[in-house]
């Protein structure tokens, strides 16, 4: 087990990169099967999902496209509850099969807002794909079709996830040492 210190917090290895990639492959295989002949548009939520989205896309074998949107709802280690769309969507979503690619779904409030926002653009379908989900923390009902892993309600960093904008480049996922 590895220990890292980021700012004023200490983190320990929680999920090694090898295990993460195994779970990403399972999700990619399911999407490849479910979305064959549908040419989905992957919509990756920045900043946190960029590593997951890159690894996922390398495992997708069907025709598809990817674009990015940036939402913000975190500050430090807690959600602010205020969700702001920073970078918008430029693609025409009408009639498209959209797969939202997120790093983590905890309360679900950000994802619910995103699904509602995308729904106004008349896509054929909207699917949620997340690296991590915290079932204990969900506050809204969401259909998360593609969740690579469920985790407890611990604060984590690494593999794109950050603590106050640091730690995203760690290859493994680390949980906070209490």
DSSP-derived secondary structure letter, 24 = H
**Helix 17-34 crosses helix 50-59 at what angle (to 10 degrees)?**
60
Longest dimension (CA), the chain: 49
Say if residue 13 is exposed, middle or buried (CB neighbours under 10 Å; 0-12, 13-18, 19+). middle
Active site residue 34: no
Q: Do residues 46 and 87 touch, judged by C-beta distance below 8 A?
A: yes
Choose, from 8, 37, 103, 106, the residue flagged as catalytic: 106
Sign of CA dihedral 114, 117, 118, 124: positive
Sign of CA dihedral 157, 163, 168, 169: negative
Active centre residues (catalytic): 106
């Amino acid at each position: 087990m590895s220990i890292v210190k980021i700012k004023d917090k200490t983190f320990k290895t929680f999920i090694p990169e090898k295990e993460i990639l195994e779970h990403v492959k399972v999700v990619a295989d399911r999407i490849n099967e479910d979305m064959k002949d549908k040419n989905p548009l992957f919509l990756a939520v920045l900043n946190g999902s960029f590593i997951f989205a890159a690894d996922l896309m390398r495992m997708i074998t069907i025709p598809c496209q990817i674009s990015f949107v940036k939402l913000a709802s975190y500050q430090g280690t807690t959600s602010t509850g205020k969700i702001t769309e920073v970078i918008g969507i430029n693609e025409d979503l009408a009639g498209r099969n959209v797969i939202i690619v997120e790093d983590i779904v905890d309360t679900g409030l950000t994802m619910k807002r995103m699904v509602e926002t995308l729904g106004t653009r008349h896509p054929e379908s909207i699917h949620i794909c997340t690296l991590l989900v915290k079932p204990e923390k969900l506050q809204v009902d969401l259909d998360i079709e593609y969740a690579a892993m469920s985790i407890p309600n611990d604060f984590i960093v690494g593999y794109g996830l950050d603590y106050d904008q640091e730690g995203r480049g760690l290859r493994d996922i680390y949980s906070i040492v209490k």
